[in-house]
């Protein structure tokens, strides 16, 4: 590494620019349109899951706040988008904004609880709040359709032009654009003074007040942002599939996104995206053979990652590339 030890500005600018690898990565995400046009629906789901993982990364990977119930915001976004379209407002972009706003609002409310707790109590409370919302949606079947899912979601064409067709062309373009846009926001946030403060909280929560920081205010803010992005991801799923099932709020979904993020590498911005691609493609491949035992391999993988690869796949890769002279952030 060729960082000038005596130039402070260079030290803090290192690694913030767009690398060639990053640009190639994003361009490669356009390839499915050409190479695998029959898999665009899957590609769209991957983009949505990746976005959900990015939202979790902001709180877990950067601020070190564990959440066992992040599906709450994903589900909230999905139901909001589904319900307003069912009520006759099928325009997708405004639907997305409304879903994000509602998820942000609920996230902001919950952040006052979240910011006060750490450790086991935090794990239990996030788990409990997630389950609570899942049960509430299950009980309120007059609104949500309960276990049967929300029926009758109809989304208008994007920009009144591009229909959400069966092939998923519009769906993937829409989801990918959503992912990219939100990613840009997350990327900027991570590289900002606020991003540094979040890493400070992750690195040493108790030290923050001693440098005059209001950690709880920081946590409330990032939790709200994360909830909004998770809401966008949920809304994208509802709009592109035109259904909302109770599963969007389930513990399984919270656990899955956690697994995806840990697998890819938390606190690395691209970890969630890489994790989502590997996880979803593998699930698609394996589920044909043996749907029941998918979780066996996921479980084994999880054990292996925790024991052998503490920073996820990207962490392992970056250790390799550092040895070879490059960096991958």
Q: Which of 75, 168, 195, 271 contacts another protein by CB under 8 A? A: 195
Kindly tell me which of 36 and 139 has the beta carbon lying closer to another protein. 139
CB 272 within 8 A of CB 260: yes
Structure tokens at 210: 């001693």
| Residues 183, 273: Cα–Cα separation, whole Å | 10
Q: Which stretch binds another protein (CB under 8 A): 44-52, 273-281, 297-305, 316-324?
A: 297-305
Does residue 194 bind another protein (CB under 8 A)?
yes
Does residue 132 bind another protein (CB under 8 A)?
yes
Structure tokens at 259: 């697994």
| Residues 204, 196: Cα–Cα separation, whole Å | 12
Dihedral sign, Cα of residue 74, residue 44, residue 174, residue 158 = negative
Alpha helices, H only, the chain = 8-13, 20-28, 32-35, 40-57, 71-86, 92-114, 119-139, 141-144, 169-190, 193-203, 215-241, 251-264, 271-289, 294-308, 312-324
Among 77, 101, 97, which Cα is nearest to 233's? 77
Site for another protein in 45-104 (CB under 8 A): 60, 66, 68
Q: Which stretch binds another protein (CB under 8 A): 46-54, 192-200, 234-242, 272-280?
A: 192-200
Does residue 235 bind another protein (CB under 8 A)?
no
Q: How far is the CB of 64 from another protein (least distance, A)?
A: 8
CA atoms within a 13 Å half-sphere pointing along the CA-CB vector of 193: 1
Q: How many CB atoms lie within 10 A of CB 135?
A: 11
| Residues 11, 207: Cα–Cα separation, whole Å | 23
Does residue 188 bind another protein (CB under 8 A)?
yes
Q: Which stretch binds another protein (CB under 8 A): 19-27, 35-43, 191-199, 230-238?
A: 191-199
Q: How far is the CB of 167 from another protein (least distance, A)?
A: 33
Q: Which stretch binds another protein (CB under 8 A): 6-14, 27-35, 39-47, 273-281?
A: 6-14
Q: How far is the CB of 28 from another protein (least distance, A)?
A: 26
Q: How far is the CB of 178 from another protein (least distance, A)?
A: 19
* Residue 136 backbone phi and psi in degrees, to 5: -60, -45
Q: How far is the CB of 175 from another protein (least distance, A)?
A: 24
Q: Which of 184, 303, 320, 322 contacts another protein by CB under 8 A? A: 303
Among 241, 257, 274, 238, which Cα is nearest to 29's? 274
Q: Which of 97, 123, 278, 317 contacts another protein by CB under 8 A? A: 123
CB 44 within 8 A of CB 169: no
Kindly tell me which of 31 and 121 has the beta carbon lying closer to another protein. 121
CB 218 within 8 A of CB 197: yes
Q: Which of 35, 88, 119, 166 contacts another protein by CB under 8 A? A: 119
Q: Which of 161, 285, 307, 323 contacts another protein by CB under 8 A? A: 307
Does residue 151 bind another protein (CB under 8 A)?
no
CA atoms within a 13 Å half-sphere pointing along the CA-CB vector of 302: 14
Query: Going residue by residue from 241 to 270, which x/- string records binding to another protein, judged by CB under 8 A?
Result: ----------x---x--xx--x--------
Q: How far is the CB of 285 from another protein (least distance, A)?
A: 17
Q: Which stretch binds another protein (CB under 8 A): 36-44, 154-162, 217-225, 315-323?
A: 217-225
């Amino acid at each position: 590494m060729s960082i000038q030890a005596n130039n402070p500005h260079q030290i803090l600018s290192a690694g913030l620019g767009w690398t060639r690898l990053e640009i190639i990565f994003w361009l490669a995400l356009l390839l499915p349109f050409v190479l695998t046009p029959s898999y665009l629906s899957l590609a769209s789901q991957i983009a949505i899951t990746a976005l959900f993982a990015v939202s979790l990364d902001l709180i877990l990977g950067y601020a070190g706040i564990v959440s066992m119930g992040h599906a709450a915001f994903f589900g909230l976004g999905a139901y909001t988008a589904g319900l307003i379209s069912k009520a006759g407002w099928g325009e997708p972009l405004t639907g997305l904004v409304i879903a994000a706003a509602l998820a942000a609002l609920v996230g902001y409310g919950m952040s006052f609880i979240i910011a006060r707790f750490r450790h086991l109590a935090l794990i239990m409370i996030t788990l409990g709040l997630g389950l609570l919302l899942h049960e509430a949606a299950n009980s309120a079947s007059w609104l949500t359709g309960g276990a049967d899912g929300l029926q009758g979601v109809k989304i208008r064409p994007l920009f009144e032009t591009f229909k959400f067709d069966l092939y998923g062309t519009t769906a993937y373009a829409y989801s990918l654009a959503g992912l990219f846009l939100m990613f840009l926001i997350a990327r900027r946030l991570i590289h900002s003074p606020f991003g540094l403060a979040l890493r400070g909280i992750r690195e040493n929560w108790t030290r923050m007040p001693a440098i005059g920081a209001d950690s709880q205010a920081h946590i409330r803010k990032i939790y709200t942002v994360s909830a909004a992005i998770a809401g966008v991801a949920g809304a994208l799923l509802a709009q592109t599939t035109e259904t909302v099932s109770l599963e969007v709020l389930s513990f399984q979904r919270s656990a899955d996104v956690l697994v995806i993020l840990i697998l890819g590498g938390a606190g690395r911005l691209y970890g969630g995206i890489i994790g989502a691609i590997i996880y979803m493609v593998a699930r698609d491949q394996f589920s044909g053979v043996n749907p029941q035992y998918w979780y066996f391999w996921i479980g084994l993988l999880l054990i292996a990652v925790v024991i052998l690869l503490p920073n996820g796949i990207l962490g392992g890769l970056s250790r390799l590339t550092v040895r070879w002279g490059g960096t991958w952030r």
